[in-house]
Amino acid sequence: MTERSDIRVLVLDDEPFILRLMARMLANIGFTQVATCETAAGALACIDAREAAPHLILCDLNMPEMDGIEFLRKLVEHRYEGSVILVSGEDVRALHAAETLALAHGISVLGALHKPVAPQDLNRLVSQLSAPGRRRPRQAAGTTYGPERLREAIDKGELVNYYQPQVAVASGELVGVESLVRWNHPVDGMVFPDQFIGVAEDHGLIDDLTRVVLVGALAQAREWLAGGLDLKVAVNVSMQNLASLDFPDFVAAQTQAAAVAPSQMVLEVTESRLMQDLRAPLEILTRLRLKRFGLSIDDFGTGHSSLTQLRNMPFDELKIDQSFVHGAAADDTVRAIYDASLGLARQLGMQTVAEGVEDRADWDWLRATGCRLAQGYFIGRPMPAAQLSKWMQAWRSRVQSEQLLG
């Protein structure tokens, strides 16, 4: 489906004036098969005419009778397989909420347009129709693995650490890495943590998993030190790890055995579910802090990584979640949350890391706002340790050639 003249478009809006306007705009950019509809019920009838069903629907949100939100749900019930663009005069946050909802429904949403619609914005969104790899909702785990198989993987050493660089925004220098575990599955290939961390947490395997990751990260830190690379190494710690009171002693003993300074290690904590009894996590984190380990509050602003945690737990680093970093420069809401998080960290004397730096605009935004560390695909993807020195060379030359330091 590459030619615009082959694409059946349906415009749904209760205003006949808007329908005429949008139809003309679509015709101007090459769409010849454009139908219009004043009611959601009428649009659903078009979808039910299977062979003539539209490939793309431009949908208004605010309509009498059935509104656009209800229409989105009906689209799923009517097994609509095409794409959707949301169009509304509502404020951008309402439009964004509707877009999120549509994605959660599994609908292929090309984006949202604010009224009055600018022709170039419409053109930009529809150009994704023929582009490969257009946005799809993030799928939940495809395969899930049973606890027995995961147990075996842990014991057999099938888990490997990948490392994602963290660089200083001011100097571009590599400061540290985050360890991100992968399962090198002999049959299925590379399995990502979303598909097994939850299983480990639910079946009492997370302590052993974290220990394997930590020991691997420490060995790697030692190897880098021996090669003259003094890097901070972060490890993700599940809140469930903070239920075993011997955790700090284990961490301290392993760190000492690897001849790594505690201050070189960072433990990133996310609270994925609410903890009832805070005594154990508080004891554990406070002891780790006293031993000079770095403690980072991960995914800040999401889930239960909240203000309450900031108040109670002795964190010395705040990682701004990627959803408040990527696109911050261009989105008022995202920017407000990013600014607030950064300000909070500063007032509390915490280090700041922004994750999810995906493009040059994100990078420039961090430079303008003075976040200390940056992590994300724009800088480097998670990689096996052996690739780090190659990446460092490439990054250094990019810093020069792309003038990343201004």
Question: Would you tell me how many other CB atoms lie within 10 Å of the CB of residue 95?
Answer: 21
Region binding ligand G by CB under 6 A among candidate stretches 13-21, 188-196, 244-252, 386-394: 188-196
For residue 142, the minimal CB distance to ligand G (Å) is: 13
Decide whether 46 or 342 has the Cβ nearer to ligand G.
342
Task: Kindly give, in sequence order, each residue whose CB lies less than 8 Å from that of residue 377, ignoring residues fewer than 6 positions away.
Answer: 357, 358
Residue 197 makes contact with ligand G by CB under 6 A: yes
Alpha-carbon distance of 184 to 157, in angstroms, equals 9
Q: Which of ligand G, Mn ion, none is residue 213 near (CB under 5 to 8 Å by kind)?
A: ligand G
The answer to whether 117 contacts ligand G (rule: CB under 6 A) is: no
Given the complex with Mn ion, which of 271 and 298 has the nearer CB atom?
Answer: 298
Is 327 a binding residue for ligand G by CB under 6 A? The answer is no
Min dist CB 330 to ligand G, Å, is 16
Give the nearer residue to ligand G in terms of CB position, either 43 or 205.
Answer: 205
Nearest to ligand G of 54, 356 (CB atom): 356
- Based on CB atoms, which residue is closest to ligand G, 83 or 164? 164
Distance CA 175, CA 392 (A): 11
- Tell me the C-alpha distance between 366 and 360, whole Å: 10
Q: How far is the CB of 38 from Mn ion (least distance, A)?
A: 49
Residue from 82, 172, 176, 193 in contact with ligand G (CB under 6 A): 193
Query: How far is 182 from 162, CA to CA, in rounded Å?
Result: 7
Applying CB under 6 A, among 238, 255, 296, 352 the residue interacting with ligand G is 238
Number of residues interacting with ligand G: please give it, by CB under 6 A. 22
**Interaction partner, residue 382 (ligand G, Mn ion, none; CB < 5-8 Å by kind):** ligand G
Closer residue to ligand G, CB minimum distance, 54 or 193: 193
Which one, 40 or 180, has the nearer CB to ligand G?
180
Report the interface residues with Mn ion, using CB under 5 A: 236, 268, 298
The rounded Cα 71 to chain-centroid distance in angstroms is 28
Residue 364 binds ligand G, judged by CB under 6 A:
no
Q: Is 309 in the site for ligand G (CB under 6 A)?
A: no
| Residues 6 or more apart whose Cβ sits within 8 Å of residue 249 | none
Name which of 31 and 183 has its Cβ closer to ligand G: 183
Q: Are 110 and 125 in contact (CB under 8 A)?
A: yes
The binder of ligand G chosen from 376, 385, 395, 404 (CB under 6 A): 376
Tell whether residue 68 is a contact of ligand G (CB under 6 A). no
Q: Which distant-in-sequence residues (6+ apart) come within 8 Å of 227 by Cβ? A: none
**Strand spans (E) along 28-107:** 33-37, 56-60, 83-88
Interacting span for ligand G (CB under 6 A) from 49-57, 333-341, 351-359, 384-392: 351-359
- Asked if 301 interacts with ligand G (CB under 6 A), we say no
CA dist 68 to 56, 59, 86, 126, 337, Å?
15, 7, 8, 19, 28
C-alpha span between 112 and 121 (Å, rounded): 9
Determine if 356 is a binding residue for ligand G (CB under 6 A). yes
d(CA 206, CA 380): 27
- Least CB distance to ligand G at residue 328 (A): 13
The interface with ligand G within residues 22-61 (CB under 6 A) comprises none
| Cα distance between residue 193 and residue 243, in whole Å | 21
Task: Find the shortest distance in angstroms from Cβ 400 to ligand G.
Answer: 22
In single-letter form, the type of residue at position 242 comes to: L
User: Does the protein bind ligand G through residue 180 (CB under 6 A)?
Assistant: yes
Around Cβ 318, how many Cβ atoms within 10 Å? 24
- Residues counted in the chain: 406
Residue 22 to residues 39, 88, 100, 177, 251: CA-CA distances in angstroms? 16, 12, 24, 49, 62
Residues forming contacts to ligand G in the complex (CB under 6 A) are: 164, 180-181, 192-194, 197, 210, 213, 236, 238, 268, 298-299, 322, 355-358, 376-377, 382
